[in-house]
Structure formats: C-alpha cells, structure tokens
Amino acid sequence: MTAPTSRNVSAPTIADVAARAGTSVASVSRVINDDRRVSPEMRARVNAAVLDTGYVRNAAARSLRGRSAHQISLVVDDIGNPAYVQAMRSLQDLAREHGLRLLVESTFGQLEEELKVMHALGERYVDGVVLASTRFAAPLIEELRSPAVPVVVIGSAPCEVQVDSVGADARGGARQATEHLRQQGCERIAMINGPLGTLPAKSRLAGFRDGFEPEASPPVIHADAFTPDAGYEAAVQLLDSGASPDGILCAADPLAIGTLNACIDRGLDVPHDVALVGMDNGRDAMMSRPRLSSVDLHFADRGRLAGQMLLDRIQVRYDGAPRRQSVHTDLIVRGSSDRRGILA
Amino acid sequence: MTAPTSRNVSAPTIADVAARAGTSVASVSRVINDDRRVSPEMRARVNAAVLDTGYVRNAAARSLRGRSAHQISLVVDDIGNPAYVQAMRSLQDLAREHGLRLLVESTFGQLEEELKVMHALGERYVDGVVLASTRFAAPLIEELRSPAVPVVVIGSAPCEVQVDSVGADARGGARQATEHLRQQGCERIAMINGPLGTLPAKSRLAGFRDGFEPEASPPVIHADAFTPDAGYEAAVQLLDSGASPDGILCAADPLAIGTLNACIDRGLDVPHDVALVGMDNGRDAMMSRPRLSSVDLHFADRGRLAGQMLLDRIQVRYDGAPRRQSVHTDLIVRGSSDRRGILA
DNA sequence: CTGTTAGCGCCTTCAT
DNA sequence: ATGAAGGCGCTAACAG
C-alpha cells in the first residue's frame, strides 16, 4: 500500500531505502543495478524497502554520476511528415530495446530553432542524436564539425560534413520513377521538387534528369517546403505555366498529395490526363484516391540503422571515420501512375 | 577559434572557466545565471573565458542541484495523428517561451508502454507531463492518483481521476454535426465511432444520439483505432451491413479519411450518395477530395492551454483542486457534406 | 562585489 | 558479501 505521496515532500533516496532496510547505500545501489555480489537475503530486504518507501531512482543524479543521460534524441524538420513518423517509430523501438528514452524535437522548419537544438547538445542532456534535416545551413555545418555528442544523419549530408549517415539512393529512385512514367506513355514529364538548395532536392533532380537525354530541359518547379500545401501551390504554378505535363514526378509524398489535389481541382484525370509518382512511400501514400505510386525510401529501416550506428558510437563499439550507409529504393506502382491497368 | 573538441576529453566545467578567468566558480555561476551582483569587468572576463574554453553548462548537474529538469513531456497515443501534431506544435512554442524543452513520447497504442512511461515519471527526468490518451486502463488511473510530477490531460479524463484537463465539447460537436447531416437531407445517418470503451468514443456517441429521437437506434460501428485503416475497415463493414447510410458521422478525421476511401472504392459519390463529417479538423481534413467537413476540436489551443495549466502547477502558481477546462467546438462545413452547394 | 563551501543523489573504488 | 567515503558539476548560503 503506497501512501499517496504529496509532491511537496521530497522523494525518497537510496539513503532512505538503506535506512529502512537497515543497510548501507552501497548495498542498495548494488541491488538496484543488478550487481551479483549481493546475498539473496540482502536483495530481498532491499527490494522490500524499495517497495514500501516507493523509491524511484533519480535520473539527474544517475546522469551526473554515470555520465550518460540514457536518452537519445531525434531531431526532424517536421514531425507532421509521415516519413519521419516511420523513422521515429523504428528508432523508438530500438531505443527501448536498449533501455534508452527517445526524445523527439521537431523544428517545424525554423532554422534558428534547429541550430539552438544542436547547440544545446553541449549540455549533454542526451547521449546522441539522429538528425533528419533537409537543409544544412552554414552554422549547422559548423556545429556538426565537432559535436558534443555523436550524431547520425538520416538522409544525405553535405560532403564537407564529416558525419555518420544513412542515405537512400534517391537519385536512382527518381530516375526509375521517371522511366516508369515514360513507360506509361507519358511524353511531357515534369517535376515538382522540394525547396531549391536542399540536399534532397538536389539528388532527386539529378535522378529526374538522368531519365532524359542530356540536352533535354524538362520543366521543374520548386515547392517552398515538403508539405501538401506547398505541393499544391507548385502544381498550380506548373499547370498554369502552359507546360501541360502528362506525367509528374514529385520529390516527396506530401508534395504529391498536393499535386494530386491540384490536378483534381483542375478537372484533370489522374492517371490518364496526368500520371503521378511521389517519393517516400509513407503511410498516406495509400490514403489518397487514386492511391499514390511512390518510391519507397525505407524510412523505417533507416531509422533503425541510424539508431544502430548511433549506439555503436555511444558504446564506443566503433570509433573510426564517419560511415556513410545507403539503402536501395523501390518503386511501388499504384493507381496514380497506372495508365495501363497493370494493377487490375 | 574553438579547438575541435574531441569527445574523449571531458567537457570543461565551471571550474575550468574559473581558472581561465582567474576567479572563483561562484562568480562564473553568477555570470552564467545572469545574477546582477557581478561587476561588468568580471562579467566580461568570465564571458571571454567561457568562449575560449568552449564551456557549456551540464544539464544533469543543473537538474540535480536545481531540482528541475527544464524539460516537460507530451505523451500521446500516436504522433501520426495530425491532431496531436497540432497540439505538439503549440505546446512546443509555449515550452520554448519558458525555456523548457519538450520531449515527445508516442506509445503507438501500446498500453503497456504508456504505463511504463507514466511510471518512469518518478525518475523526475521531466518537470511535468501533458497526456493525451484515448484510453485509461486501470493501472494508468492508479498511476495518476499520485503522480510524481504534475500531469495535465488533453481530452477527457475518467471522472474518478483527479487531474487537470483540457477537454472539448465533443458531445455538442457531434450533435451539431449530426443535425447538419440531417439538414443536408440525409435520412439514414450512421456513425463510425472510435474503439469501444474509449472516452472519446463515449462522448461522441452521446452527441450523435442527441441528434435523434430517444427511441431511435441509428447504426454505429466501432473502429479498432483512430486511424484511416481502421476507419476503412469499419466503413466497409457498415456498407456491407445493408444499412445503406446516406450520411456518416466519423468520430475523428483519420476515420473519416478511411471512410471516404471506402465510399469511393464502392463507387459511391460523396457527398451526394453519402455525406461525411469528421472530427478534429486537423491538417489533412483539407487534403482529401472532396475536402472533409469536420468538427474543429481546437487541438492547437488546447495544447497551449494544457501547457499553461501545467506551468501553473510546476511553478506552484496554482496548487488547488484539479481544474477541468473545456473549449467550444465549431463545425466546419466542406465538400464532403455539402449537398446543396452552400459553399459554391 | 567576490570567494569558500556544503551538499543535490548516485555509483564505485577501496577497505573490511 | 558489505560498508565508508569521494566526487560527478553545479548553485546558493554564508563569509569576507
């Protein structure tokens, strides 16, 4: 029977437990930390004392003494993006398996915020960070030159940044998607890309161009953000431009959702007037009608991989030069680009 | 010029800074914490020393000493739910304004996980918690009876739980939505509700029933979760049941999205064959075609409100009996229920 | 205005 | 197998 603890009275410490059990703090500590060098009898007594004092270990003291916060964090642009939710989920599972808490920080696109978060790492309130950022502003890069705690990037990092990363072959995926559109009979293929200057925009654009003759210059519109709204606006702009595309590659699923809506609002039939392919293959690619064809960028797997690389650093299992992993991508064809009834 | 700090060498402490500045740790601490009782000259010297030692304060030590983690956390069922993202965003803004970090934990529907998270609060790694849970299992309620740190619930809490909360008049909203459907000429109105036994399901169902004569028993299907997939399945079940509804109230937007897709897949025209209304009015209510009519539950406002109540407790500005706030709800009519071209 | 010092709660040698 | 004691980095009394 635990007494309804009031918050005013300070929480019991191991000293309290020790007193209750008639032993020393050392023994209590041993029991708590599963040290084998404790007699079963003592263990029982301490456990009982823990129970009826209602003792819970103090995170701050443990961190200070043990030099480990038992927390890692995931820093993302926008947790509203389903791709990141996937990564978060698998990363959280991994963290849990290792007795770590996962802290999530969403900067919602505010660069300044991102910077502050990375700088605050110096406070060592986490043991490491998985960073999924679309842009690497100069100060961020500077911060990454000598981070206070290990950092692993999901996505691609600028080549001048020495950091572990788990990328995906987005370029290859974009190319494959483009070729797929052509196979579907599209002759005027355009692209709705992410914000100009971001790394993902760069690689996807390269892949898109790979799908054309070198001298071709297919229309490309850059959206302001990787969101449905931005995708919608960009698509309107594209459709108004007179390019009248019959196939569009979108650099991310949210952009594709926006683009799909813009097409529908214009009375265009998807996929027959315009075929659409997105990238990410997040949860909501299946939630539109028609369903969205999408290049699977394996965010769940990459979240886990990033977590593993991070743990390698934290536990000093690996201590060498930055490692850059990359995963393959897979085009998943659904209704939005299926003009020939492949799926029927 | 900061030397590229290696992670192997331990971080500088205030003692290092003090040594560098030729002063005592107390003065350094004062400068860092903006204590006025420091000469400008000293302040300058210390700041310089901070800069060239690359000193960053240690979170664990600060927490241990100051009995405050400078962190609060948001615990949600499923961060994939846009409604929670809204709440998170406003809460994060509030936290930032007060110099607190916001830690987000998504239990992804695993009750056991939720319980562990709440229990771990005893470690005091956060100063308080905003909890947004759809179900309150018995052990959770037990945990809430005497939480180690202040807790504020977003949504409704079981009446036997004494806890601050920020609810919404979901019942009134559900009723209003039901009446709206009737005004649109719907004669066979059904409901896709959330999981049986959850609080939100209960209040929404009550509101739905309020929209009928007491003796009526309109069809209600309970989905397994507040997700599009569950909504889809439930809708299929409803449509297969022979009820042939011409209007459906969905207890949440994700359910409505699933229901919309099910209707579309059946070749039903929304809103003319079936009119649809969701609840939450989250970001993606606008992202479907037709757009989703939805009862705005003001999650952003409530996130902020919850945060304020939490801060009141943390800073002991308020210390009395649990406060239960509730916000009004607003029906937002969009295409999915607009059979009469109100919007045209 | 500045410096000295006592802990915050815990883990971990080092003795016993 | 158990206990005593130092110190992790910091802040807040207290003394000068």
pLDDT > 70 in chain B, percent = 97
Strand D contacted by A25 CB (< 7 A): yes
Cα B70 to Cα B57: distance, rounded to the nearest angstrom: 13
Cα A136 to Cα A115: distance, rounded to the nearest angstrom: 10
Burial of A341 by CB count in 10 Å (0-12 exposed, 13-18 middle, 19+ buried)?
exposed
Measure Cα distances from B165 to A153, B33, B109, B132 in Å.
38, 34, 21, 10
What are the b/e assignments for B193-228, b being 16+ CB within 10 Å?
bbbeebbbbbbbbebbbebeeeeeebbbbbbebbbb
Contact A2 B148 (CB under 8 A): no
Cβ proximity of A327 and A169 under 8 Å: yes
Cα A335 to Cα A344: distance, rounded to the nearest angstrom: 9
For A38-51, what is each residue's pLDDT tens digit? 999 999 999 999 99
- DSSP assignment of B239-303 equals HHTT---SEEEESSHHHHHHHHHHHHHTT--TTTTSEEEEEE--GGGGGSSSPPEEEE--HHHHH
Partner residue opposite A287 with nearest CB, options B89, B102, B228? B228
Which among A189, A233, A170 has a CA at the least distance from the CA of A337? A189
DSSP H or E stretch at residue A31: helix A25-32
Please tell me the distance in Å from B275's CA to the nearest CA on chain A: 17
Q: Is B294 on the interface with A (CB under 8 A)?
A: no
Which residue approaches D12 most closely, CA to C1'?
Answer: B26
Please tell me the distance in Å from B295's CA to the nearest CA on chain A: 20
B4 pLDDT band (50/70/90 cuts)?
Answer: very low
Strand C contacted by A15 CB (< 7 A): yes
What pLDDT shows up at residue B1? Answer: 37
Contact B123 A57 (CB under 8 A): yes
Strand D contacted by B59 CB (< 7 A): no
Partner residue opposite B59 with nearest CB, options A82, A124, A284? A124
Kindly state the tokens that stand for A237.
Answer: 């702009």
Strand D contacted by B61 CB (< 7 A): yes
The mean pLDDT value of chain B amounts to 94
Residue indicated by tokens 């995926």: A173
- A199 DSSP assignment: H
Please tell me the distance in Å from B15's CA to the nearest CA on chain A: 16
- DSSP assignment of A251-284 equals SSHHHHHHHHHHHHHTT--TTTTSEEEEEE--GG
What pLDDT shows up at residue A109? Answer: 86
The mean pLDDT value of chain A amounts to 94
What pLDDT shows up at residue A8? Answer: 59
Closest residue in B to A120 (Cα) is: B56
Partner residue opposite A88 with nearest CB, options B61, B79, B122? B79
Contact A64 B69 (CB under 8 A): no
Strand C contacted by A14 CB (< 7 A): yes
- In strand D, the nucleotides that come within 7 Å of a protein beta carbon are 1-5, 7-13
What pLDDT shows up at residue B10? Answer: 82
Partner residue opposite A56 with nearest CB, options B62, B103, B122? B122
The pLDDT of residue B158 is above 70: yes
For B73-126, what is each residue's pLDDT tens digit? 999 999 999 999 999 999 999 999 999 999 999 998 888 889 999 999 999 999
Tell me the nt nearest to B24, Cα to C1': C3
What pLDDT shows up at residue A5? Answer: 45
Q: With beta carbons under 8 A apart, name residues in chain A contacting B96.
A: 113
Tell me the nt nearest to A40, Cα to C1': D1
- What's the whole-model pTM score? 0.93
- In strand C, the nucleotides that come within 7 Å of a protein beta carbon are 1-5, 7-13
The pLDDT of residue B3 is above 50: no
B229 pLDDT band (50/70/90 cuts)?
Answer: very high
Q: CA of A26 and C1' of D6: distance in angstroms?
A: 13
In the predicted model, residues of chain A with pLDDT beneath 50 are: 1-5
Please report the residues numbered 248 through 287 in chain B whose beta carbons come closer than 8 angstroms to any beta carbon of chain A: 257-258, 260-261, 264-265, 283-284, 287
What pLDDT shows up at residue A342? Answer: 78
The pLDDT of residue B219 is above 90: yes
What pLDDT shows up at residue A106? Answer: 92
Strand C contacted by A59 CB (< 7 A): no
- Give the angle subtended at the CA of A333 by the CAs of A275 and A155, to the nearest 5°: 95
Q: β-strands A293-296, A330-332: how paired? A: antiparallel
Kindly state the tokens that stand for B102.
Answer: 């916001």
Cis check: omega of the bond before B200, within 30 degrees of 0: no
Which residue approaches C2 most closely, CA to C1'?
Answer: B27
Cα A78 to Cα A80: distance, rounded to the nearest angstrom: 5
What pLDDT shows up at residue A341? Answer: 81
Query: Which SS3 state, helix, strand or coil, does residue A39 take?
Result: coil
Closest residue in A to B79 (Cα) is: A85
Best of B74, B103, B126, B270 to disrupt the A interface (most A CBs within 10 Å) is B103
Strand D contacted by B42 CB (< 7 A): no
Q: Is A105 on the interface with B (CB under 8 A)?
A: yes
Q: With beta carbons under 8 A apart, name residues in chain A contacting B56.
A: 122-124, 148
For B20-73, what is each residue's pLDDT tens digit? 999 999 999 999 999 999 999 999 999 999 999 999 999 999 999 999 999 999
Contact A7 B287 (CB under 8 A): no
pLDDT > 90 in chain B, percent = 89
For B261-308, what is each residue's pLDDT tens digit? 999 999 999 999 999 999 999 998 999 999 999 999 999 999 999 999
Contact A101 B102 (CB under 8 A): no
- Sheet containing strand B247-250, strands side by side: B220-222, B189-193, B247-250, B275-280, B293-296, B330-332
